[in-house]
Amino acid sequence: MTPSDADRATLLAIATAALPASRALDAADADTVRRAIDVVARAGDAALTAWLGLSRTLDALARATTRVPFASLPLGERLALMQRWADGATTRHLLRALLAPLKLGYFDDERVYGALGLRFTTAPPSSNERQRFRERIESAATVPAGETLECDAVIVGTGAGGGPVAKDLAERGLAVIVLEEGKYFARSDFTARSTKMMASMYRSAGFTAAVGNTLIPIPVGKTVGGTTTINSGTALRPPERVLGQWAARHGADVTLGALAPYYERVEQVLGVGESSAAALGKPAQLIAKGADALGWSHHALVRNAPGCDGQGVCCFGCPTEAKSSTNVSYLPAALKAGAQLYTEAKVTRVLVDDGEARGVEVARRDGATFTVRARVVVLACGSLHTPALLLRQGLANSSGQLGRNLTIHPATSAVALFDEVVDGHAAVPQGYAVDEFAAEGLMFEGATAPLELTAVALTSFGPGFMDTMGRYRSQFGFGFMIADASTGRVRPGPRGEPFITYTLQDADVARLRRGMALLGRLYFAAGAKEMHSAVHGFERLRSMADVDRLATASLSARSFDLSAYHPLGTARIGADPRSSVVASTHECHDVLNLYIVDGSNVQGPLFVNPQVTIMALATRAAEHIARRLERLDALAAA
């Protein structure tokens, strides 16, 4: 679809109203609109049609109320119409969707970065060192249509679940084929440009979302390394009480004592530790200052990137490979041990014969298919895509629990503005935590985003917004997630993607309100001059009096701009086949030789970032899978 001249005129009128000139920045222009169109077009024709529909709706509103096209209205009237949308409980989300590509088109620009004294790209030159493991990475396009490949174990997915299983099985001398729907990106491919990398490495360009009484985006990786390649690297073990409750409720051997040896192995592979004070930067100092003033517990987060230099682009592929995501840790080890990795390989069906998994059917990008025959099948597609794949085929759901029990750790954040230069963009984005309220299910962690994503996160627009963005170097982000009592469900959706529903309960809304008020107290105790929150009606807080109003306000799920990064629980482990999907070995109760090893096994909420727990469970699962293969060998020899 190609925008018409009228579409471009309307978009330019919206852009110049939302993004006017300020002391530090020029106004948006036609180049802004062109780049915004390119951003949306990368998500496909449907996304572009929907986005242009929003601009046409705003234009229709202008014609209905003023009898003049939006593009012909004076600036003040344009801003007033946009503010009407911003004030509505529902229309404010439409306005944000309309403005987001324009903000990206404006701020993801080398000229804007230069005007604010920022470096546009932080990626260093790539290493010339030849990495021989790459010879074992091929595109699925190289496999002839109709071909049948054979192996001991086929592993579908390369993230926190699939990576450890691939490494451990390959190092045992087993024939392992790993399948990844996304592409492989080398260090030299990580440009540090958020919009480009999101379009390349995120599912649906980052627009995967749960729908219910509010919309909650759930960013998911689609690349070698899965979501570990695009996460912040936080590597926390969960509280012992959380694992104990899980074990008691479902008869799963998942206590901290049982998993401790596997956590240790994972932490050794990842090199888990704290980042340096230099990498943590000024944001950590200010959070510590505020927490000390309030008497709250706080600490540096342990991460799988102790050698991080604080470039601030963890969520877009680490350009220095300091972050030990599975694409640079587990998978290279698996490939060096003899595993074979096929990229751009979409698994469409698990092959089952007489109640036993025998392999998978794989679709190439051109639609042609081939088959991988295996003695065991390991699904590690994540909490959203694993259940969607199995439910579409009607497998592994005699319990009725597959796709249910979804928890996501709903999260939100706020940006604080200080009188001093903070340079939060040049520090570990998620390097520091306040755990004073962890027992309440509130975990506060860093949340600084690059310039263009900060612009999208802020709900404001117009002169005040541009003034705030002009002072980007004097601000940073911090946020929190909640241990949700709410649950959701995953079903098969269109085009092979999951359809995710999730209703935020009143108790979790209250927890979000408390968390945002506590965050306000923390910021002002640290010396912030104002706070920009993601709560409707409280977008800009300038004093503790504003925080106090927020703390007692009547809010709903739609009052918050939320996101979530930890989908869990849709194929949980348990001893009872009537209430769980897999046994403690990770083998499905219903289908022999079919293993699920990813976040779907984890009963949430876990209260902390889950990647090392998924990896610890995967490391143990590999032992069970290896023993199963040994038994199959023994039966074949008998």
Tell whether 165 is covered by a domain.
Answer: yes
Q: Are residues 44 and 184 in the same domain?
A: no
Q: Are residues 459 and 528 in the same domain?
A: yes
pLDDT at position 42 is 85
Beta-strand ranges (E) seen in 306-441 are: 340-343, 346-353, 356-363, 369-379, 411-417, 432-434
Q: Are residues 246 and 360 in the same domain?
A: yes
Query: Of 305, 298, 223, 231, whose CA–CA distance to 267 is shortest?
Result: 305
What digits encode the pLDDT tens for the residues 215-264?
999 999 999 999 999 999 999 999 999 999 999 999 999 999 999 999 99
DSSP 209-229: EEEESS-EE---B-BTTGGGG
Q: Which helix (H) or strand (E) holds 387?
A: helix 382-393
Q: Which residues pair with 212 in a beta bridge?
A: 502
Given a contact cutoff of 8 angstroms between Cβ atoms, the answer to whether 304 and 273 are in contact is no
Enclosing domain of residue 176 = 138-191+238-271+321-399+573-637
Q: Are residues 477 and 420 in the same domain?
A: yes
Query: Of 349, 402, 354, whose CA–CA distance to 377 is shortest?
Result: 349
Q: What is the mean pLDDT of residues 100-125?
A: 87
Which residue numbers are catalytic?
566
Q: Which helix (H) or strand (E) holds 289?
A: helix 277-294
Q: Are residues 16 and 70 in the same domain?
A: yes
pLDDT at position 130 is 57
Single out the residue in 524, 559, 594 at which a domain terminates. 559
- Using 50, 70 and 90 to split pLDDT, how confident is the model at 127? low
Can you tell me the distance from the alpha carbon of 184 to that of 223, in angstroms, rounded to the nearest whole number?
Answer: 6
3-state secondary structure of 11: helix
For residue 116, give Cα distances in angstroms to 22, 109, 278, 419, 474: 12, 11, 22, 16, 11
What digits encode the pLDDT tens for the residues 285-331?
999 999 999 999 999 999 999 889 888 889 999 988 899 999 999 99
Longest Cα–Cα distance in the chain:
86
Integer distance in angstroms from the first to the last C-alpha of the chain?
63
Q: Are residues 299 and 422 in the same domain?
A: yes
Count of C-beta atoms within a 10 Å radius of residue 135: 9
pLDDT surpassing 80 at residue 116: yes
Single out the residue in 83, 115, 147 at which a domain terminates. 115
pLDDT surpassing 70 at residue 124: no
Can you tell me the distance from the alpha carbon of 160 to that of 226, in angstroms, rounded to the nearest whole number?
Answer: 7
Q: Are residues 431 and 535 in the same domain?
A: yes
Count of C-beta atoms within a 10 Å radius of residue 511: 23
Structure tokens at 557: 């799920």
* Domains contained in the chain, number: 3
pLDDT surpassing 90 at residue 501: yes
What's the one-letter identity of residue 153?
Answer: A
pLDDT surpassing 80 at residue 87: yes
pLDDT at position 149 is 98
DSSP 249-275: HH-----HHHHHHHHHHHHHHHT-EEP
Token pair 């192995």 is at which residue? Answer: 265
CATH code at 578?
Answer: 3.50.50.60
Q: Are residues 255 and 394 in the same domain?
A: yes
Query: Of 315, 334, 263, whose CA–CA distance to 615 is shortest?
Result: 263
Given a contact cutoff of 8 angstroms between Cβ atoms, the answer to whether 567 and 381 are in contact is no
Q: Are residues 327 and 339 in the same domain?
A: yes
Q: What percent of the chain has pLDDT over 90?
A: 88
pLDDT surpassing 80 at residue 507: yes
- Using 50, 70 and 90 to split pLDDT, how confident is the model at 122? low
What mean pLDDT is reported for the chain? Answer: 95
Tell whether 495 is covered by a domain.
Answer: no
Q: Which helix (H) or strand (E) holds 169?
A: helix 162-171
pLDDT surpassing 80 at residue 79: yes
Interhelix angle 506-525/277-294, nearest 10 degrees = 100
- Using 50, 70 and 90 to split pLDDT, how confident is the model at 540? very high
Tell whether 174 is covered by a domain.
Answer: yes
Q: Are residues 615 and 546 in the same domain?
A: no
pLDDT surpassing 70 at residue 57: yes
Tell whether 229 is covered by a domain.
Answer: no
Interhelix angle 45-66/30-41, nearest 10 degrees = 130
Q: Are residues 56 and 25 in the same domain?
A: yes
Tell whether 233 is covered by a domain.
Answer: no
Q: Are residues 101 and 247 in the same domain?
A: no
What digits encode the pLDDT tens for the residues 2-32?
899 999 999 999 999 999 999 999 999 999 9
DSSP 94-107: HHHHHHHHHHHHHH
What digits encode the pLDDT tens for the residues 180-192?
999 999 888 888 8
pLDDT at position 221 is 95
Tell whether 126 is covered by a domain.
Answer: no
Tell whether 200 is covered by a domain.
Answer: no
